[in-house]
Chain A
Amino acid sequence: MPSSDAATSSVMSTPDSNPSPELILAPSPASVAGPVVSPPAPRVATIKAIGVGGAGANVIEQMIRSGLGGVGFAVVNTDSQSLAGSSAAEKLLLDSKLLHGLGSGGDPERGRQLAEENLGNLKAMCAGVDVVMIVAGLGGGAGTGICPVLARCAKEAGSLVLGFVLTPFECEGGRRQRIAQHGLGELKAAADGVVCLPNQRIFKLIDENTSVLDTFKITNEFLCQGIRGFWRLLTHQGLINIHFDELCAVVRDQHAESAIAAVDARGPGRARELAEKLLTHPMLDGGQMLADAAAVLVSVIGGPDLTMAEIDRVMEQVNRHADRAQILMGAVIDESFRDRMVVTVIATRREGAHPKVESRLSGGGEGPLGEVFTLTTTRAGFRSGSRSSADAARARKGASKLRQGQLALEIVSKGRFDNSEPNIHKGEDLDIPTYVRKGMALN
C-alpha cells in the first residue's frame, strides 16, 4: 500500500490481530447522539433501510429478497395497495381522510403535508437507529414529499441519515424532473449525505432490447448494490475496517451528493479489470467524479484468496484519480466470494460544504491564502479546461465555482484566447506564453 499517502494510511489502520467486538463500529456517543444524553451504547451499529413511496418500496422489496442481514426494513407510503404488497417488517401508511388510501396523486406538497401530520410516527420509526437509509424514487408525490421530512425526523432522532434516491428518466417529462430536482435539494439539505442515481444514466448501461421491466430492475439493482456496499462496510468484519466514527466524520453534515459504483470481476486478472471498469463506470462520469470528489469511500470485498497486491492495484488507481479527496477504505473477506472480487466506490462531491470559502473566492479571489491553498492543486486549471459536455458542466456547478476562485489566483491570463477552446498539449496549456511556462526570467 502506498503508505506515503497520509489520508489513506491514517484510515487504513492495520488490521487488529485479535478483533474485539469493540472494533465494530461502536459509535462514540458524542458523534452520534450529539448533546442529547446518549442511549445505551450499542455494540453494533443498527441500520434501518426505509423505502419511501412506490419506487422505494420496490427497491426495499428487492433488497429483502437478496438478503441483507442485520438491517431493519421499513416502508412508508401513501398508497395502501403498494404497502400491502410489501414484505417489509415495518409498514407505515400515511393517510388522511381526503386520500382514502389512494396515494398522494403525484403532488409532493400533499406528501409533505401528510408526513408533517404523521411526524410522531416517523420519529418513532427512526428512534434508536444509528444509520437510517432513506430509499426513494424522486419525481412523484410520496417519495419527493416525504423524504425530506423523514430525513429531518431521523436527524432529530440522532441518526446518521443517508439518502439513496433515483431521479426520473428524461422521457418522464420536465415537470417530474423539476419536482425531483427540487426534492433532491431539500433532501440534501436535510440528510447527511445523498447518493443520487439519475435513471437517465442507465441508458448507457442497457442496450436497445432491454425491456422496461428489466430496466427498472437494473436501476433498482444499482441502488441495492450501493446500499449493500454501504451495509457491508458497516456490518462485515473487515480486514481493514472503516470505523463508524470515521464514516460519520466524512459524511455527517456534508449535505453532499454522491455517486456510487459497484464493479465485479472474477479470475486471475480481476484487480486490473476492476480498476479499468471503475474508471470507465458511467456512474462516475468516466472517472471525472473521482477527480471532483471531496471524499471517496472504497469497499473491497473478496474471498479468502484476496491478496494485498490486488487491493493495492485498485487503490493505486483510485488514489491517483482522486488525489484531492479524503479516501476511506475498507476491505472485507466473505467466504462466499471465492475467486470473485467486488469493489464499491462512493464518491462524494462536497457541494456547498465550504460556504465561507466559496463566498470569499467569488468576491474577487482575495481570500486568505491558507484556506484557498488547501483546495488548490496544480492540475486544477487543467481539469477545468478539459471538461467537455455542457451537461456535465452544469452538474458540476458547485465544484466549478470553487475552481473559478482558483483561477483568479492565477496570475497568467490568456489574453485574447480567454474565451476560446483551450490548447492542451501534454498537460500544458499552449495559450499561456511559452516563456511563462518554461519559467524564463526577463530581467
Chain B
Amino acid sequence: MFEPSSIIVGLEIGTSKVCAVVGDYGADGALNIVGLGQARSRGVRKGEISDPTLTEEDLRQAIAEAEQMADVEIRSVFLGVTGGHVRGFNNRGVHPIVSADREIAEEDVQDVVKNAKLLNLPAQNRVLHAIRQHFHVDGLDGITNPVGMVGSRVEVDMHVVHGILHRLQTAIRTVKGLQIEVDDIVFTGLASSLALLTNEQKELGSLVIDLGAGTTEYVVYSHGIIKHTGVLAVGGDHVSNDLAYGLKVPLSRAEQLKVEHGAAMVDDSIKGQTIPIPNDLGLPQKPINLEHLRRIMSARLEEIFQIIGQDLAQAGALDYLRAGVFLCGGGTRIPQIAKLAEHVFDMQVSVGKTNSISGLKSALDQPEFATAIGLAKYGSFQQRKRPKASLAGGIRNTFGQLFKHA
C-alpha cells in the first residue's frame, strides 16, 4: 500500500476507451507507473460525453481495475479534456518598467504575466491552460527569466488553451458522481506531448499528433515551449463511419474491417483484391473490395494530416519542427500511418514512445496510453513543490473557480 499523497492518477475519458493510469512518485521525484485500468467507452462522441450514465459505468469499471492492479484507493484524478470546442492561441502581455534603476523585479514579471492573461474571450469560455512562453526585454527575444535584467519594457508570450465551460463541466461532474475528486483538468493533447517528448525534442521542435477515436489533438513545441495547439473533432470513428458508408456494411463490421484489413496507404499490389466476409447464416454476401477500403481510409487520414498541416502553416509553426512528427493514440495502430504522415508533412515521422517514466512495461509501450500517462506526469509536476522543467513551471492551475462551480 502506498502513501495516498504519493499516488497520482491520470484519467482519460476517450471516445473509444476510458483509461486510468496510477502513478507513484517516490522521494526522488520520478514517476513510476504502478497500475492501469481501462474500459470500453460507450457514452462519448467526438471526445465529449454524450451519455453521462453510460460513461459513469465505464468509469467505475476502469477505476476499479486500476485500483485493483495498483492496490490503492483512488480519491482524486487529473482529468483529460478535449473536444472540438477547445482552442489554443498565443497572446502577448506588455509591461513597462518604471523604477529608477530599470531593473526587472519579480513583481514586474507577475504583472506582465497578468497582462498576458487579459483575454478577450467569449463569456462562456474558460481558460484551460495559460502557458508561459518566452520573455522579451526591449525587443531581445528568448529570455526565460528576466528577473534581475535591466530594461524599460518587458513582454511575455503566453499560449492560452481555452474551451467552453459547460462542456468541460460535464466531464468533471461525471467524475465527481463517482465520489472522486478532480485535481485539475488538462488538455489531452498537452498530456500526450508530455508523455512522449524529451526535453531535447521539445527544444529542437516537434509536432505531436494524438490520433484518437473521436478527436485528433496536435501540439507543437519549439525552443522548449508550446508554440501551438489544436483539436480536430475527427478521428478513428470517422474512418469507421466512412467505411460503413462507402462499403455499405454495418458499423461494427466496418470497425472490424478497419482493424483487420485497414492501412493508411494504397498499394498497387492490392488492386482487384477482395475480402471474403464470413457469414454466420450461410447466405451469399458481396465480398469487399480491398482497394476501395484502403482508398476510403487513406482519403480520410490524409485529410486529417492535411488540415493539421494547413493550420500549422497558417500559424507559421511548420518551419520549427526539426525533431519531426510524433504520433500517438489508437490511430497509430493503422499500418503505414507514419509513412502517410511523412508523405504529407515531408519530414521525419515516428510513432512516439512514452519515455522518461518507469513502471509497467506493457502499459508504456502502447501508444494508446500516452495521454493517460501524460496526465499522471502532469499531475506529478503539479504535486512537486518546486517546478523543475520550464514547461511545468509555466503551467498554472487557473481552474480553481471552475471546480467550485462544478
Which residues of A does B touch, CB under 8 Å?
Answer: 412-417, 420-421, 423, 425, 430-431, 433-436, 438, 440, 442
Which residues of B does A touch, CB under 8 Å?
Answer: 45-46, 50, 84, 232-234, 237-238, 241-242, 244-246, 251, 289, 292, 295-296, 299-300, 302-303, 307
Contact indicator B246/A435 (Cβ below 8 Å)? yes
Contact indicator A431/B295 (Cβ below 8 Å)? no
Contact indicator A416/B251 (Cβ below 8 Å)? yes
13 contacts between A and B (CB under 8 A): A416-B45, A417-B46, A417-B237, A417-B238, A423-B46, A423-B234, A425-B232, A425-B307, A430-B307, A433-B238, A433-B241, A434-B300, A435-B299
Which residues of B have CB within 8 Å of A416? 45, 237, 241, 251
Contact indicator A433/B242 (Cβ below 8 Å)? yes
In the assembled complex, how far is the CB of residue A209 from the closest CB belonging to chain B, in whole angstroms? 20
Contact indicator A440/B245 (Cβ below 8 Å)? no
Contact indicator A423/B241 (Cβ below 8 Å)? no
Contact indicator A415/B299 (Cβ below 8 Å)? no
Q: How far is the CA of A42 from the CA of B255 in the complex (A)?
A: 74
Which residues of B have CB within 8 Å of A423? 46, 84, 232-234
Which residues of A have CB within 8 Å of B238? 417, 430-431, 433
Q: How far is the CA of A59 from the CA of B246 in the complex (A)?
A: 61
Which residues of B have CB within 8 Å of A413? 245
Q: How far is the CA of A296 from the CA of B45 in the complex (A)?
A: 40
Give the tally of cross-chain contacts (CB within 8 A).
68
A415-B245, A442-B292 are known contacts; what are 4 more A-B pairs with Cβ within 8 Å?
Answer: A423-B46, A423-B234, A430-B233, A433-B296
Contact indicator A415/B234 (Cβ below 8 Å)? no
Contact indicator B299/A434 (Cβ below 8 Å)? yes
Which residues of B have CB within 8 Å of A431? 234, 238, 241
Contact indicator B50/A420 (Cβ below 8 Å)? yes
Q: How far is the CA of A442 from the CA of B242 in the complex (A)?
A: 13
Which residues of B have CB within 8 Å of A425? 232, 307
**With A433-B242, A442-B246 as contacts: A420 and B45 at CB distance below 8 Å:** yes
Which residues of A have CB within 8 Å of B232? 423, 425, 430
**With A415-B245, A433-B242 as contacts: A440 and B46 at CB distance below 8 Å:** no
The A interface is mostly helix, strand or loop, or mixed, namely loop
In the assembled complex, how far is the CB of residue A391 from the closest CB belonging to chain B, in whole angstroms? 15
Which residues of A have CB within 8 Å of B251? 415-416
In the assembled complex, how far is the CB of residue A225 from the closest CB belonging to chain B, in whole angstroms? 30
Contact indicator B244/A415 (Cβ below 8 Å)? yes
Closest residue on chain A to residue B293 by CB atoms = A442
Which residues of A have CB within 8 Å of B302? 434
Contact indicator B50/A442 (Cβ below 8 Å)? no
* B46 interface neighbour in A421, A434, A436, Cβ under 8 Å: A421
Closest residue on chain A to residue B46 by CB atoms = A420
In the assembled complex, how far is the CB of residue A415 from the closest CB belonging to chain B, in whole angstroms? 4
Which residues of B have CB within 8 Å of A414? 241
**With A420-B46, A423-B234 as contacts: A434 and B84 at CB distance below 8 Å:** no
**With A420-B46, A421-B46, A423-B84 as contacts: A435 and B241 at CB distance below 8 Å:** no
In the assembled complex, how far is the CB of residue A413 from the closest CB belonging to chain B, in whole angstroms? 7
In the assembled complex, how far is the CB of residue B315 from the closest CB belonging to chain A, in whole angstroms? 15
Q: How far is the CA of A416 from the CA of B303 in the complex (A)?
A: 20
Q: How far is the CA of A438 from the CA of B245 in the complex (A)?
A: 15
The 7 A-B residue pairs with the shortest CB-CB distance in the complex, in nearest-first order: A433-B242, A434-B299, A415-B241, A435-B299, A434-B300, A434-B303, A442-B292
**With A421-B46, A423-B84 as contacts: A440 and B241 at CB distance below 8 Å:** no
Contact indicator B241/A438 (Cβ below 8 Å)? no
Q: How far is the CA of A425 from the CA of B303 in the complex (A)?
A: 11
Closest residue on chain B to residue A424 by CB atoms = B84
Which residues of B have CB within 8 Å of A442? 246, 289, 292, 295-296
Q: How far is the CA of A390 from the CA of B4 in the complex (A)?
A: 46
Closest residue on chain B to residue A431 by CB atoms = B238
Contact indicator A433/B237 (Cβ below 8 Å)? no
Which residues of A have CB within 8 Å of B246? 433, 435-436, 442
Which residues of B have CB within 8 Å of A438? 299
Closest residue on chain B to residue A415 by CB atoms = B241
Q: How far is the CA of A435 from the CA of B243 in the complex (A)?
A: 10
Q: How far is the CA of A438 from the CA of B307 in the complex (A)?
A: 14
Q: How far is the CA of A417 from the CA of B251 in the complex (A)?
A: 12
**With A417-B45, A423-B84 as contacts: A440 and B234 at CB distance below 8 Å:** no
Q: How far is the CA of A420 from the CA of B50 in the complex (A)?
A: 9
Q: How far is the CA of A401 from the CA of B289 in the complex (A)?
A: 39
Which residues of B have CB within 8 Å of A421? 46, 84, 233
Q: How far is the CA of A425 from the CA of B304 in the complex (A)?
A: 11
